[in-house]
Structure 1
Amino acid sequence: MAAAAPATLHELFARSAARHPDRTALEVDGRTFDYAELDRVSDRLAGRILRRTGHRPARVGLLAARSLTAYAGYLAALRLGAAAVPINPAHPPARQLAVV
């Protein structure tokens, strides 16, 4: 019998969200977000990515600083099975495009 594949980071997050939806998942910019809210935001972002691209992308560029949107963006990329590519908003536009 083959060993089970290890859980992905998104699978681990989804399990925590299902077990503890009201617990704090994220504290950023002086605000707290519970697992249910972070899961909803990441699900909406994943849907937007799918609608824009028309398919599951191999990677998703994230031009964001530390914020709810940035963390949810990482989870959305992982939910889609994509690599999350952080892009520093402070870098010049040419550098940002080169990263993706």
Structure 2
Amino acid sequence: MLARLHVVISSEQDKDYQQVKKKLLDINPDFSISPNRPYQPIKDHSEFYITVDLKPEEVQPLLDQLNNDWDGEMDDCDCYGFNTKMFDELVYCLEFTYFND
């Protein structure tokens, strides 16, 4: 089923986006990653989206690799880097949605 990950990083620099993107592709080379763009709600932050097809049993292991403390249900959850351990220190927040219909 399709999964979507919204990623916000604490930088608008392309080199930082590329660093985070590389780490994400190391986690799952099947990620389809959009270009980044400025994140309007917070100055000097950028955002991008990831889509990937996942089996239900692949969701929790992926979430565990990305962050150590998600809020919400496994199919609709988020986390913030200021109070959790992200896979990269530049990541401000992640929002994960799993469309299991």
- TM-score, structure 1 as length reference: 0.29
Structure possessing the higher relative contact order (Cα contacts under 8 Å, 6 or more residues apart): 2
Structure with a larger share of its residues in helix? 1
Which of the pair has more CA radius of gyration?
1
- TM-score, structure 2 as length reference: 0.29
Structure with a larger share of its residues in strand? 2
